[in-house]
Copies of this chain bind each other. A is one copy, B any other.
Amino acid sequence: MAKVDIIQIAKELNISKSTVSRAFRDSSDINPKTKERILKLAKELNYQPNYYASNLKEQKSKTIAVVLPELANNYFTQIIQGAERVAKEQGYHILIFVTDDDITKEREFIRSLASGRVDGVIMSASGESTDHSYLESINYEHLPIVLFDRIYDDIELPKIVTDDYQSSFMATEHLIQSGCQRIAYFVINKDLSIGKTRLQGYEDALKKYKIPLRKRLIVDCSNSYEENNVIIETAIEKQKPDGILASVERLAFSTYYVCQRIGVKIPEDIKIIAFSSLEIAGLLQPGLSVVRQPAIQIGEKAASTLLKQLSGEELLDDEMFVTMQSDLVIRDSSKG
């Protein structure tokens, strides 16, 4: 079976292709009978309108791009879940782009998306807070973008974030109240907007309790699992922290493994709390205290904000910057 197109159907029915075309569009007036004949034959022939021809004509793709730094992270896969759900409801589809934390790829992706391939983008940024000037040249009329989580502060785009500063402050405060004095902050890239904000919360909490800030306790980790094991083990042995705030979920997991291996007990020797949206954090040994970000809802919100723009509506002021509430869930890993 060769691909069937509108013309073939037209020929077979001895009508013009415009009539056939009309049969598939709801509104147009067309004789119900001919319409039926057309639809019947179309079904028989297994006709599918050519996606690219339609889109070329319509200048719409009903597709949105989700640009993420990585996939090996619960948080981002939950984002996809949320975004996919909302998108599907409105007949949109999801195209995934993973930058591997590489701003160059991010730029290439966004550039190429300006080709009209997608109707809009939701993105969690990969770059440091600088070096995103490339976004200046994007025409947001043609390609609306919504940022979430890892945002670029100084770009005027709708943003969905969590109350990172507040959460970080509270988590640190909680560790202090559990008796910690040497609290380490584990982060992957402290120059990213998100690492920075959380760092600020951490620092301010220390300040409030008059605990000196020690630079050595701010531990810059890497994206490599193996490297992190070394970095974290070294940090624990050299800096002897009695509390850890992990700004990324998997740094907490690595810490668990390291502690298991070197015989450090959680929470007796070290208490730990992490930013994480893992549902089963409570099943860990010991149960992991977390700042639980509402990842799925963030994904939903980002998508629905984008879709609202795509539908032509103006965003209200309070939709331009949305803060979602995280929960502080205390479990055994940080008990005093």
Verify if A18 is at the interface (C-beta below 8 Å from B). no
Name the CB-closest residue of B to A286. B285
- Nearest CB in chain B: distance from A305 CB, A: 19
Residue among A1, A71, A84 having the largest count of chain B Cβ atoms under 10 Å: A71
Q: Please give, as numbers and ranges, the residues of chain B lying within 8 Å of A256 by CB-CB distance.
A: 280, 283
A98 and B84 in contact (CB under 8 A), knowing A53-B56, A115-B51?
yes
In the complex the two chains form, what is the Cα distance from A49 to B280 in whole Å? Answer: 46
Contact A56 B48 (CB under 8 A): no
Verify if A24 is at the interface (C-beta below 8 Å from B). no
Contact A142 B56 (CB under 8 A): no
Verify if A165 is at the interface (C-beta below 8 Å from B). no
Q: Which residues 197-234 of A have a CB within 8 angstroms of B?
A: none
Q: Please give, as numbers and ranges, the residues of chain B lying within 8 Å of A177 by CB-CB distance.
A: none
Over the window 114-129 of chain A, the binary record of Cβ atoms lying under 8 Å from chain B Cβ atoms (1 yes, 0 no) is 1111000000000000
- Nearest CB in chain B: distance from A138 CB, A: 9
Contact A46 B253 (CB under 8 A): no
Contact A280 B284 (CB under 8 A): yes
Name the CB-closest residue of B to A141. B1
Q: Which residues 292-308 of A have a CB within 8 angstroms of B?
A: none
In the complex the two chains form, what is the Cα distance from A112 to B50 in whole Å? Answer: 10
29 example contacts (A-B, Cβ-Cβ < 8 A) are as follows A3-B116, A46-B114, A46-B137, A48-B114, A48-B115, A49-B115, A50-B115, A50-B116, A51-B116, A51-B117, A52-B52, A52-B55, A52-B56, A52-B61, A71-B80, A71-B84, A80-B80, A84-B98, A93-B95, A93-B97, A95-B96, A253-B279, A253-B280, A256-B280, A256-B283, A257-B282, A283-B285, A285-B285, A285-B286
In the complex the two chains form, what is the Cα distance from A114 to B5 in whole Å? Answer: 12
Contact B3 A142 (CB under 8 A): yes
In the complex the two chains form, what is the Cα distance from A283 to B95 in whole Å? Answer: 33
Verify if A72 is at the interface (C-beta below 8 Å from B). yes
19 more contacts with CB within 8 A, not counting A283-B285, A285-B285, are A3-B116, A46-B114, A48-B112, A48-B114, A51-B115, A52-B116, A71-B80, A71-B81, A71-B84, A77-B77, A84-B96, A256-B280, A257-B282, A280-B284, A283-B284, A284-B284, A284-B285, A285-B286, A285-B287
Verify if A40 is at the interface (C-beta below 8 Å from B). no
Verify if A31 is at the interface (C-beta below 8 Å from B). no
Q: Which residues 47-98 of A have a CB within 8 angstroms of B?
A: 48-53, 55-56, 61, 63, 71-72, 77, 80-81, 84, 88, 93-98
Q: Please give, as numbers and ranges, the residues of chain B lying within 8 Å of A283 by CB-CB distance.
A: 253, 256-257, 284-285
Q: Which residues 253-277 of A have a CB within 8 angstroms of B?
A: 253, 256-257
In the complex the two chains form, what is the Cα distance from A80 to B112 in whole Å? Answer: 22
Over the window 13-57 of chain A, the binary record of Cβ atoms lying under 8 Å from chain B Cβ atoms (1 yes, 0 no) is 000000000000000000000000000000000101111110110
Verify if A111 is at the interface (C-beta below 8 Å from B). yes
Name the CB-closest residue of B to A249. B280
In the complex the two chains form, what is the Cα distance from A272 to B94 in whole Å? Answer: 37
- Nearest CB in chain B: distance from A76 CB, A: 9
Verify if A139 is at the interface (C-beta below 8 Å from B). yes
